[in-house]
Amino acid sequence: MAVQQSVGPDPYFPANGDPRYRVHRYELALDYRPGPNRLAGTARINAIAGRAALSEFQLNLADFKIGRVKVDGRAPHYTHRGGRLRIRPAKPVRAGAAFTVEVHWSGNPRPVSSPWGGLGWEELADGALVASQPVGAPSWYPCNDRPADKASYQISVTTPSAYQVVAGGRLLTRTTKASTTTWVYEQSAPTSSYLVGLSIGKYQAVLLGDPGLGGVPQHGHIPASLLPEFSRDFARQPAMMELFQELFGPYPFGSYAVVVTEEELDVPVEAQGLSVFGANHVDGVRGSERLIAHELAHQWFGNSVSLADWRHIWLNEGFAKYAEWLWSERSGGRTAQQLASAAHRLLSSLPQDLRLADPGRKLMFDDRLYQRGGLVLHAVRCALGDDAFFRMLRGWASTHRGGTVTTAAFQTHVARYASEPLDDLFASWLHETALPPLPSPGPAIPARPPYPPSNADSA
């Protein structure tokens, strides 16, 4: 059963999101023209008020022209400044009552500024993609932009017929009229606003694996010129899916898609049911295979099991980092112990000023958080032993599927599988800044024939 665990503003981004209500469904109808980078949209947002009546509330939306706003069919008073659409309904919404907001907007979408550069809607040379983590979603649609507010989505995108539209979720319809095509996707699983993925480009679709054998449908969408390299680089993704389902439990969504753009990206883009890679991540020699494993693992840890707020980001990135090490170990590469040792050596040479359980906004994407997060999982594995550790992981993914979690919830969960208290382990790894000693090695998961050794660097 999914558990929702956040009731206040996000401490790292207090201007984003409104905890006074929650959304349970977005229906977005978008019209996008790549040449002039012109977006026009309508959003129908179904929400529920919290414990107090709503005389006013806010959505996050970047600097677009607002055409119309309605609340339960009636025009409210609203202001739109500084990325906030403040709405005062004609009649206050009763505590606990359902209500519907309709917003029409248009303009030229562009990334919103952040300490990490532009986030959200990114215009490409021939198309567009969305890269929203952590606060880029308002760059293209109005939303309650907080990771704890998870909702279902239906997204309709109309664009010139030369382009393909890929979104996280199930493609319901694709309808062509004259020179445009409308793509309609449904994502029924609860989804955080920053995890709503979208890519518009000229792609060739390929099937990965065989879903006819009861597997998860997996598709690639790539420029035709990159097909030979892609075919080798992503050939083992179905084996990753098989392994992660064995170790983490059933894949939490209906399908999984990967997109490769013609342009280079600094890092792959994480979204729910969808990952976007740059052309630089496709080299024909599996040079980015660890990133393929990392993004796939996020479907369990980060997307299905989501953060209550951004203080707990290590629960996303540490788990995905450790999944890289597990894939390396299982596929005949370096063991998790060897990779943990390399990570520990690296961290021991770097500043000791990161508190993993609450790194602060400045350090939330620091590479040390990823490495130390992976080491936490390895330390827990060494303490529990493999049998209890992987039962713990499967239980974590199952119990919190579709919900939100905190570091404290993880500590409580792990304690159920431990034969002795792990308070000291968690205190040193999560709540103190000094790097603890390298965990003692546990037994490695043996490699097995379906996964031949990789040429990729798994560090």
DSSP secondary structure string for all residues of 146-211: -TT--EEEEEEEEEETTSEEEESSEEEEEEEETTEEEEEEEEEEEE-GGG--EEEE--EEEEES-G
> Beta strands of 231-307 (E only): which ranges?
256-260, 269-271, 274-277, 306-307
Extract the tokens encoding 252: 């939490």
The 8-class DSSP code of residue 443 comes to P
Find the farthest-apart pair of alpha carbons in the chain and give their distance in angstroms, rounded: 68
- Residue 438 token pair: 């390298």
Q: Is 298 annotated as a binding residue?
A: yes
What is the CA 6 to chain-centroid distance, rounded? 18
Nearest C-alpha neighbor of 153 from the set 60, 284, 21, 24:
24
295 is a catalytic site residue:
yes
Among the listed residues 153, 185, 256, 370, the single catalytic one is: 370
Annotated binding-site residue? 263 = no
7 Cα distance to chain centroid: 21
On the CB side of 113, how many CA atoms lie within 13 Å of its CA? 2
Token reading at 2: 């999914």
The C-alpha R_g of the chain, in whole angstroms, comes to 22
Rounded CA-CA distance 317/340 in Å is 15
Contact of 248 with 330, CB cutoff 8 Å: no
The answer to whether 344 is annotated as binding is no
388: part of which helix (H) or strand (E)?
helix 386-399
CA distances from 343 to 373, 415, 424, 426 (A): 10, 25, 21, 18
Between the alpha carbon of residue 286 and those of residues 229, 283, 293, the distances in Å are 9, 7, 11
Tokens matching residue 55: 């005389």
Q: Which residues contact 427 (CB under 8 A, 6 or more apart)?
A: none
Q: Choose the catalytic residue: 122, 270, 295, 324.
A: 295
370 is catalytic: yes
Residue with tokens 């349970």: 24
What's the one-letter identity of residue 5? Q
In which residue are the tokens 């209906």 written?
Answer: 254
Answer whether 54's CB lies under 8 Å from 20's CB: yes
Alpha-carbon distance of 325 to 328, in angstroms, equals 5
Please give the annotated binding residues for Zn(2+), written as ranges: 294, 298, 317
Please give the annotated binding residues, written as ranges: 294, 298, 317
The residues annotated as belonging to the active site are 295, 370
